[in-house]
Chain A
Amino acid sequence: MDLSGRFGARSGNGVPFREVTGLESLHLGGGDEFRQMVLPENGGGFTALLELPPTRAVELLHSSSSSSSQATLHSVGTLTFPSNPILMERAARFSVIATEQNPNGNISGETTTSSVPSNEHIKTEPAETETSDQAAVEKQNNRCGKRKDFDKKVKSSTKKKSKSSEENEKLPYVHVRARRGQATDSHSLAERARREKINARMKLLQELVPGCDKIQGTALVLDEIINHVQSLQRQVEMLSMRLASVNPRIDFNLDTILASENGSLMDGSFNGTTMQLAWPHQVMETEQSYHHRQLQQPPPQQWPFDGLNQPVWGREENQDHGNDHNSLMVGSASLHPNQVKMEL
């Protein structure tokens, strides 16, 4: 999705995000760029929002005193949708509030952040936390925690106790409005925030581990996670054993040749080296003669590549234990940029 691509670029790392809708991208950055991105998609995002059944949590954001207008992922700024009357009316009705601090400190009155109707959006945010620095991590954790709060607040949200308390998580102060009938002392609030953080992360884990979405209950999910980790570790053992039992000449010649080349050349010729080495006459391959051959004979090498690729990657797919095909192909595509049209 285009948004997700730009989102990833924004964050400054190469992690692609899934499922970033217009709404999602908005509440993380305050820049005009985002707004421009969103406005053309306005119809898509907001009509989807409006179609939600009223029992599902619907939130809105409006910012009053957002001082941060940075358009970076790490900014904690909020966005306004002043131009959308329908959403404003919904905001009035459901009046969801979570407030969050800007990194520049003082306790502002009512900055609200948006929460998103479906839980998937929440998950992409915690996903980002792994690649961002600590301060932003904490803030985003906060926000996610509070946001999960609002998902549950549906009908009772109209009558709320108007008590706000302070939670101190590293840098920002977080204002939380307690739900009706809930204890408001700091301990239970802290506990609640912790619980919601854990739940958010468990949701992420559930998505990562295949087959966990259907399972209900923390204990079973944890079981699945443990099994998955153990199976991955066993796979690593198996693979290293297989590699060790392969003729050692091959992999180490591979290494020298790969290591001696530059990055791009290495990527381009990765498969070429395996091809070369498998043939009987390359064990004594020097780097220079290899380079020569590479430069002079690209066309004849294409054909054996194709021949090798298909069985190799075909076998990959058969052996796939539920890995994401796309990720593997992306990885392999990066290793063979010459073979962009993957015969897969």
Chain B
Amino acid sequence: MQPTSTMNEEFLKKWQMGLQMFRPSIDNASVSERKRAIKLSADVAMASLRKGTTCWSRALIQKTATEDNFLVRQMLSGIKEETLINKKLPKVMCHRKIVRRSKKILMRRKSRSAMEEVAAKAKKLVKRKTQGLRNVVPGGEFMSNNVLLIQETLDYIVSLQTQVNVMRSIVDAAEAGIER
């Protein structure tokens, strides 16, 4: 599924709305300030397209939270703060060395066949990669199962693609305008 033109337009509109809200504070600010504001409105616009149905959108809106841009986020997203709270997964904090040592002992006890070893290594690899994916996708820690994770990744990639497309076209148009 590739981004559609309606998605592009909606994102553009929301993004412009957000930028407008920032306008009074931005005109004299530095480049990094402006970049932050632009990125913020772009991210919130992208997330609000999903209207809170997906986990990553809620997590993204939450992540951009600071005290001063509360109003902006609220108005842009149209989502109340209460609904944004994701259920955090219980994370057991273990000392890594101890965990590794106990795993080694367990592995020694188990009788292993060649195939089992390979399968176990593959599983470990996959687990590591899914953890990496959780780190990249916003709100990945809150997705309890892999099915949800992959679904959210799909949606997130499509939304990122629209965001990139629209932003790129605007940037190119603006830069072309300057060069002239």
Whether A associates with B in a native complex is yes
Give the interface of A toward B (CB within 8 A): 14-16, 127, 129-130, 194, 197-198, 201-202, 204-205, 208-209, 217-219, 222-223, 225-226, 228-230, 232-233, 235-237, 239-248, 250-252, 254-256, 258-259, 263, 267, 271, 274-275, 277-279, 308, 311-312, 315-316, 319, 323-324, 326-328, 330-335
Residue of B nearest to A320 (CB): B168
Contact (Cβ within 8 A) A255 B169: no
What's the minimum C-beta distance from A178 to chain B, rounded to whole angstroms? Answer: 22
| A194-B133 CB under 8 A given contacts A243-B171, A267-B9 | no
Cross-chain contact of B176 among A240, A254, A312 (Cβ < 8 A): A312
Question: What B residues does A241 contact at CB under 8 A?
Answer: 31, 35
Within 8 A of A (CB), among B62-93: none
Q: Summarize B's interface: helix, strand, loop or mixed.
A: helix
Cross-chain contact of B174 among A127, A130, A274, A327 (Cβ < 8 A): A274
- Whether, in the assembled complex, B42 has its beta carbon less than 8 Å from a beta carbon of chain A, the answer is yes
Question: What B residues does A16 contact at CB under 8 A?
Answer: 4
What's the minimum C-beta distance from B52 to chain A, rounded to whole angstroms? Answer: 13
Cross-chain contact of B126 among A129, A222, A312 (Cβ < 8 A): A222
Residue of B nearest to A246 (CB): B174
Cross-chain contact of A326 among B2, B27, B35 (Cβ < 8 A): B2
| A229-B168 CB under 8 A given contacts A219-B129, A271-B173, A278-B177 | no
Contact (Cβ within 8 A) B168 A316: yes
Cross-chain contact of A275 among B39, B160, B171, B177 (Cβ < 8 A): B177
Contact (Cβ within 8 A) B176 A308: yes
Count of A-B contacts judged by CB separation below 8 Å: 195
Report the Cα distance A328→B150, complex, angstroms: 25
Q: Which of A236, A248, A330, A331 has the most CB of B within 10 A?
A: A331
Contact (Cβ within 8 A) A258 B175: no
Cross-chain contact of A201 among B16, B26, B150, B169 (Cβ < 8 A): B150
Contact (Cβ within 8 A) B177 A274: yes
Residue of B nearest to A334 (CB): B5
Contact (Cβ within 8 A) A240 B20: no
Contact (Cβ within 8 A) B5 A250: no
Question: What A residues does B147 contact at CB under 8 A?
Answer: 194, 197-198, 201
What's the minimum C-beta distance from A332 to chain B, rounded to whole angstroms? Answer: 6
Q: Which of A209, A327, A332 has the most CB of B within 10 A?
A: A327
